[in-house]
Structure 1
Amino acid sequence: MTRGAAQDQQANPRRRAFHMNRQGKAAHVFLTPWLLGFLLVTAIPLLASLYLAFTNYNILDSPEWTGLENFRRMAGDEQFWASVRVTLVYVLVSVPLQLAFALLLALILDRGLRGLALYRSAFYLPSLLGTSVAIAILWRVIFGDQGLIPQALGLLGIDTGSMLQNPKTALLTLIVLNTWTFGSPMVIFLAGLRQIPGELYEAARVDGANVVRQFWHVTLPLLTPIVFFNLILQTIGAFQTFTQAHVVSDGTGGPANSTLFYTLYVYQQGFVSYDMGYASALAWVLLAAIAAITAVHFLLSKYWVFYGDN
């Protein structure tokens, strides 16, 4: 080996180390804005709210440590339990309906319709707009006293008045709104359907399975991971619903607290009553509840989710 070749071999590791060092510095520079945003917008406020959950804090005065008093207060808070009931009903009814409509539309679109991209975009659009203030205001126009739905029912001799001011129907209108925003899970279902091998359907047809049996014994088992994924996302999103309830009820929770969602109650305590300590405690209870429900979903998933290797 010549002397020049030996020097090049010694120099190459140094060059590589130099380039890796420069790349590392560049990576840190590009990550710095994200790290600052995470610390200032997420991590520090999160830790601050955890501290405030154990205090009596009304923004104007300094926080006063009260221990578990805020959490004991929830046990006798009737509005707290009302918000829990409303939120649970909303989640348990709207999420299954939303996923059922999403899967139904995905099955229809998967049959090779012309202009599939157009239909997919049209059905996905409500998911983009469903949580916006504009759509919530539109919902007030549709279901209000002079709305399209009450007028249409009036022609049939059914006098409902404003469905948003009726305790029996106010929550139903928000459930319909959430069900209408099925575009996002529909697109995910459609992607999952495209991954199922056609040979399985051919084998099922050879065995004499009709369309219904093909769905129950081929499509649905292979689609269970997608169902599970959508179920987790939509359940978490439903527990965090706020904009629709706030706009539709003008932030009051509707007649007889019929649309007093948990997040709306947290907002009322924190930004109307300025009881930030209690609001922080409520927020952490919601976080713990969502985490527990998600954990239960994962524990139960082994009994019904089919991944192909179990």
Structure 2
Amino acid sequence: MLKTAYIYVPRPSRQNLEIGLDHGLWGWRSSALDRADARQVVQSLSEGDFLVLGHTGPNSRVAPGGWAEATLQRLIVTQVDKTYFTDSTPVWPDDDYPERVGIDVLEEEQDVHGTTLGAEAMEALRLSANKQGAAVLLPDVAAVAQLAEAPRRAPALPSDETVHHEGAESALARALIRLEQAKLRRAMLRGASEAVCALCGRVLPSRLIRAAHVKRRSAATRQERRMMANIMAACLIGCDELFEHGYVYVTEAGTVAVSPKCEATPDLAETAKALEGRVVADYGPHRAPFYAWHRTHIAG
């Protein structure tokens, strides 16, 4: 059964938080894990377990339960993708933090009220704050599920339902990634009811347009995943899948080309070649590196 570790990160550690997220790592000073069962908790984390980071909350020196209705400035849900290991390779500027786990960032939220996570999870974060950032373990994923299903969220549209995620699979991880996808899609559409597919150029209802990563999410860094230059408007009536599987790609000149993969069947070849030579919408130097990655790793 999946479990969840909660870690509180105080305001002065903001830089270390960003560095850890960008590197897909979290680490501890050995002295912080020498206390009680702190090291055993970290060592017990398996690939696919969740690690929740809370940042900048109220004073932790309050009675148990005192954070139940508090607000965290930031909350980051990650999934363990590399179990406990030791490494002194420099990552953070102020210390080695040699006892580490690898993490994949699934969702980031701001101004999260305690009721969104639940009292038990908020208490775990309060305890972590009082234990120098040691991980506090809960034997389930109830709070993460509650966050993913919070009623304040709009229901997913059909174009948000399919998410390509490589790693420790779980329905909950996919649900969290869909939240990220929905944010990117809202930023791309800006409230428009119609949008233009970048590949075929058709103007379609927005529900038929997906915000597709050009460089796959699984291969992109945390920063690349959130860059709009790595997001392409791709229609659900063919273009999204043709691009996703490398049947078509974008050249250095910003036009659509077909790959040899499209010769798998005559009908597939005909469909792909209908796009050949089209100028890709909003192509430019800011997008070129992502399309180059797709050409090399997916279409090539």
Give the TM-score range, shorter chain.
under 0.3
* Greater RCO structure (CA 8 Å; 6+ sep): 1
Structure 1 length normalisation: TM-score?
Answer: 0.22
When you count helix as a share of all residues, which structure comes out higher? 1
Q: Which structure has the larger Rg over C-alpha atoms?
A: 1
